[in-house]
Amino acid sequence: MDAIASLSRGAANAASDRPSREEAEAAVRTLIAWAGDDPDREGLLDTPKRVVKAYEEWFSGYRADPEAELSRTFEDVHGYDDLVMLRGIEVESHCEHHIAPFIGKAYVAYLPSERVVGISKIARVVEIFAKRLQTQETMTSQIADCITRTLKPRGVAVYIDAKHECMTTRGVHHPEVSTITTKFCGAFRDDPELRERFLLLARQA
């Protein structure tokens, strides 16, 4: 089964079994009580509503289709066949292990075959996958695989550099450590000079 299709099917099944807003707010009240505070005290009365509303924003990627964002392409590029690269795309995500934030930047490039896509759509694909629970490694692969599957370019490269709050506020407490993940497909995987050119451009940002 194709990985993207499997993930989409899993997200659809999860959506059909989605608890109600009231159930979600009750779960937040339970966590507040478990932490040792009183969910009925004045400062916490509206916290469950705020948390659920924040979750709607943080995890809005489950309600969006990244492939649909790439469906409109353009052929009139006057023979352009070099790489198209977006640098410094904001990444705001949450890891699936602790639901702790990780924040950083993504650098994405592709080599068009016959068509190009609006550059904002590449950024939107990054945002959609970031607004889901996963690891940084998984998100990096998802972005590259989605662009490869949908645009069918000659190559795709993804580079993500992010800091994880699960290493900053708990566990080993190393706030200055960042995590770098990469995924290279097609020409970027096969051509070391092209790959190094992409990495150089990413590091210069």
Under 8 Å between Cβ of 94 and 58: yes
Alpha-carbon span 107 to 21, nearest angstrom? 36
Alpha-carbon span 167 to 118, nearest angstrom? 36
164 is catalytic: yes
196 is catalytic: no
Is the fold of 3-58 the same as that of 74-203? no
The fold adopted by the segment(s) 3-58 is GTP Cyclohydrolase I; Chain A, domain 1 (1.10.286)
Q: Residue 17 has which token pair?
A: 């079994």
Query: Which of 97, 114, 174, 196 is the catalytic position?
Result: 97
Query: Which of 25, 69, 94, 95 is the catalytic position?
Result: 95
Is the whole model's pTM more than 0.85, yes or no?
A: yes
Tokens 């490269």, residue? 157
Alpha-carbon span 70 to 128, nearest angstrom? 12
Query: Which of 22, 96, 137, 196 is the catalytic position?
Result: 96
Average pLDDT over every residue of 158-182: 86
Q: Which of 182, 72, 85, 69 is nearest to 125 (CA)?
A: 69
Under 8 Å between Cβ of 127 and 93: no
Q: Residue 43 has which token pair?
A: 């400062």
- The per-residue pLDDT for 149 is 95
146 is catalytic: no
User: pLDDT tens across 58-115, in order?
Assistant: 999 999 999 999 998 888 677 788 999 999 999 999 999 999 999 999 999 999 987 8
78 is catalytic: no
- The per-residue pLDDT for 2 is 52
Query: Which of 136, 142, 146, 185 is the catalytic position?
Result: 136
166 is catalytic: yes
User: pLDDT tens across 150-163, in order?
Assistant: 999 999 999 999 99
Using the predicted structure, report yes or no on whether residue 11 has a pLDDT greater than 90: no
The fold adopted by the segment(s) 74-203 is GTP Cyclohydrolase I, domain 2 (3.30.1130)
Please, which pLDDT band fits residue 16 given cuts at 50, 70 and 90?
A: low
* Alpha helices, DSSP H, located in 134-182: 136-151, 165-168
Which sequence spans correspond to the domains of the chain?
Answer: 3-58, 74-203
Q: Using a pLDDT cut of 70, give the percent of the chain over it.
A: 91
136 is catalytic: yes
22 is catalytic: no
Q: How big is the chain by its Cα radius of gyration, in Å?
A: 20
Higher pLDDT, residue 178 or 2: 178
Query: Which of 25, 94, 142, 164 is the catalytic position?
Result: 164
Q: Residue 72 has which token pair?
A: 């409109």
* Alpha helices, DSSP H, located in 19-135: 21-35, 47-58, 66-69, 119-130
Average pLDDT over every residue of 112-135: 94
